[in-house]
Amino acid sequence: MAGLEHSQTLAQKQVLAPQAQQGLRLLQAPLTELRQMVASELARNPVLEEVPVGESVSLGMDAARPAEVDEDRPVGEHGPLGASEDFLTGTSVPWTTEDGRHRQYFFDSQTSPPDLREALSRQLALESLGASQSEAARRILGDLDEAGYFRGVLEDIAGTCGLEISQVEDVLARVQNCDPPGVAARDLSECLLLQLQRQGRGHSLESRIVRHHLNDLAQRRIPKIAEALGVVPSEVQEAAAQIQQLNPRPGAAYAPAREQTLYPDVVGAWENGEPRVFLNEEEIPRLRIANDYKDMVSLHSPSQNVREFLRDRIRDGRFFIKSLQQRQQTLQAVAREIVAHQRDFFEQGASAIRPLTMREIADAVGIHEATVSRAVSGKYMETPWGIFEMKHFFSRGFSSDDEQTGSAAGVREVIQSLIASENPEAPLSDSQLEEELRSRGTPVARRTIAKYREQLGILPAKLRQKF
């Protein structure tokens, strides 16, 4: 009879210190969330105070504001090194203290429904995921577009999170099991199949058509489908009617209203042949350690317990200010490299976007790829062509028939634009889109156009036709 035994094991495990975790949260926070984090820290830590508008501040560790990046200064893995007065430049925010209070109250009083990523994050919170799996899930959510499709690369996520491809696929499956049905699909076929499976029709005629004959259905080849599946044409027609009831854009319900104001974190442009990047300075207040509390500690007038409490709060406040500085420096360094790599986009427009990976930016700035991912997550850049999510500038390339390489994101942008302006009574076929792209100097194979069209959740021409 086997008895109970005690055993001990020794294992190394990396655990981030609370201050390092705070730095990562600040780096990952978009502008609106960062503003709330700064307000919370001001309320939590009594030694911190906001520098009044128009008042000068001594430059050093007791002040923080959006910073300019010294391009000759090295950048460390968790942010640019040496948060000093070299970075603390800029103009004052044109708001009075009273205006600032009213403005903050206005922002804090606004309510809005959760976006797609927030809704999915709440559902995944009930899942038992390890640290690496949680990071993979966060990366997957960050790679969802407005239609709810997954646009990332599983291999990249696996490499960044230290997981096997099969483990990342399992995390993706968990995301796909969330609501709305069809979310995180990689193409139109998978999106429709996920919805059918959720309805208990994973082995139905509709699923067989979507899985094997979606292109034939788009061409209305009903007899051909019926013959291949061994059913009568009327059954295929009924199944087609059910397929048309499915949602090809499951994330659209969570998309922000078009009139909603987006606050860009950075402004990017090319000026006089050089990349120029400016941080949005107006949305983040300047912070400093209040002199009254520093004097109380230095004069040794309070009790020992009070002095220890103040020393701890001053230390925490200085680290928060330093983390805020490093967040700004890292964001601007990453944004500047994006602008430098995407010169064609800034000079010519969205269709000229070039292939770019986060690893390229990480190597150029001198930081880890995961840091780049955190720096661009949920953040927006204002450009001469509008405001874009910073992840929009990252895309793998494709190889055309004549071996030219271009950006898949740029081609998808052009396809979406062409279809948006087409005649609804005579929509553009994939062949016509191929000809149009070729005439613009972007030769792309028809099968590639069909793949990108499906990724965008756009039906074939015959199913888009309005009579």
pLDDT digits (tens, 9 = 90+) for 340-353: 888 888 887 776 77
Are residues 26 and 37 in contact, defined by beta-carbon separation less than 8 angstroms? yes
- Which pLDDT belongs to residue 165? 92
181: pLDDT strictly greater than 90: yes
Is the model's pLDDT at 119 over the cut of 70?
yes
Kindly state the tokens that stand for 286: 């300047």
**Spatial separation of the C-alpha atoms in residues 32 and 370, rounded to whole Å:** 22
Q: pLDDT at position 445, please?
A: 81
* CA–CA distance, 275 with 253 (Å, rounded to integer): 37
How many residues in the chain? 467
Strand bridging mode 380-383 / 266-271: parallel
Helix H segments across 342-407? 343-348, 358-365, 369-376
Q: Which structure tokens are listed for 152?
A: 């990332």
CA–CA dist 110, 104 (Å, integer): 10
What pLDDT is recorded for position 8?
A: 61
Average pLDDT for residues 395-422, to the nearest whole number? 66
- CA distance linking residue 184 with residue 120, whole number of Å: 10
DSSP assignment, residue 279?
E
Task: Say if residue 28's pLDDT is above 60.
Answer: yes
Of residues 68 and 122, the one with the higher pLDDT is 122
11: pLDDT strictly greater than 80: no
pLDDT higher than 50, residue 402: no
Decide which of 447 and 212 is more confident: 212
Q: What is the pLDDT of residue 85?
A: 26
pLDDT of residue 396: 61
406: which 2 tokens?
């271009």
pLDDT(10) > 70: no
Q: What is the mean pLDDT of the chain?
A: 76
Q: Identify the pLDDT of residue 446.
A: 82
Comparing 272-276, 399-403, 419-423, the range with the smallest average pLDDT is: 399-403
Write the DSSP symbol of residue 144.
B
Q: What is the pLDDT of residue 261?
A: 62
Q: Check residue 124 and report its DSSP letter.
A: H
Segment holding 50, helix H or strand E? strand 48-50
297-317 b/e (C-beta count within 10 Å ≥ 16 → b) = beeeeeeeeebeebeebbebb
**Terminal C-alpha separation, the chain:** 79
pLDDT band at 211 (very low <50, low <70, confident <90, very high): very high
Collapse the DSSP code of 196 into the 3-class scheme (helix H, G, I; strand E, B; otherwise coil) and give the result. helix
In the prediction, which pLDDT does 212 show?
92
pLDDT for 55: 62
**Beta strand ranges found along 364-462 (DSSP E):** 380-383, 386-389, 397-399, 405-407
How far apart are alpha carbons 421 and 432 in whole angstroms?
14
- 137 close to 157: Cβ distance less than 8 angstroms: no
Which stretch of DSSP H or E encloses residue 135? Answer: helix 131-142
- Average the pLDDT over 80-98 and give the result: 35
Residue 106: per-residue pLDDT: 44
Judge whether residue 357 has pLDDT over 80.
yes
Strand arrangement, sheet containing 274-279: 274-279, 266-271, 380-383, 386-389
**Is pLDDT of 207 > 90?**
yes
What confidence score (pLDDT) does residue 18 get? 64
Other Cβ atoms less than 10 A from the Cβ of 393: the count is 23
Distance CA 367, CA 29 (A): 18
C-alpha dihedral sign at 424, 430, 432, 437:
positive
User: H or E stretch including 270?
Assistant: strand 266-271
Residue 107 has pLDDT above 80, yes or no: no
* CATH classification number, 117-176, choose in 2.40.50, 2.60.120, 3.40.50, 1.10.10: 1.10.10
More confident residue, 397 or 198: 198
Could you count the other beta carbons within 10 Å of the beta carbon of residue 364?
17
Provide the CATH number for the domain formed by 397-464 in this structure: 1.10.10
Residue 186 has a pLDDT of: 92
Provide CB contacts within 8 A for 240, sequence distance 6+.
Answer: 209, 217, 222
Judged against a pLDDT cut of 50, whether residue 448 lies above it is answered with yes
Short-list 231, 247, 250, CA closest to 239: 231
Q: Does position 454 have pLDDT exceeding 90, yes or no?
A: no
Cα 147 versus chain centre, distance: 14
d(CA 389, CA 116): 15
Q: In the structure encoding, which two tokens stand for residue 251, read together?
A: 């994330």
pLDDT tens, 235-252? 998 998 899 889 999 988
Q: What are phi and psi of 279, to 5 degrees?
A: -80, 150
Residues of each domain in the chain carrying CATH 1.10.10: 117-176, 397-464
pLDDT at 111: 47
User: How many whole angstroms separate alpha carbon 91 and alpha carbon 382?
Assistant: 19
Using pLDDT thresholds of 50, 70 and 90, give the confidence band for residue 82: very low
Average pLDDT over residues 366-374: 87
Share of the chain above pLDDT 90, in %: 15
What is the pLDDT, as a whole number, of residue 185?
A: 94
pLDDT, tens digit (0-9, with 9 covering 90-100), for 32-80: 788 888 888 887 888 888 877 666 554 343 444 433 333 333 333 333 3
2-6, 163-167, 254-258, 450-454: lowest mean pLDDT where? Answer: 2-6
- The DSSP annotation for 239-277 comes to HHHHHHTS-S-TTGGGSPPTTSPP--SEEEEEETTEEEE
Alpha carbon distance 8, 362 (integer Å): 40
Q: Are 314 and 293 in contact (CB under 8 A)?
A: yes
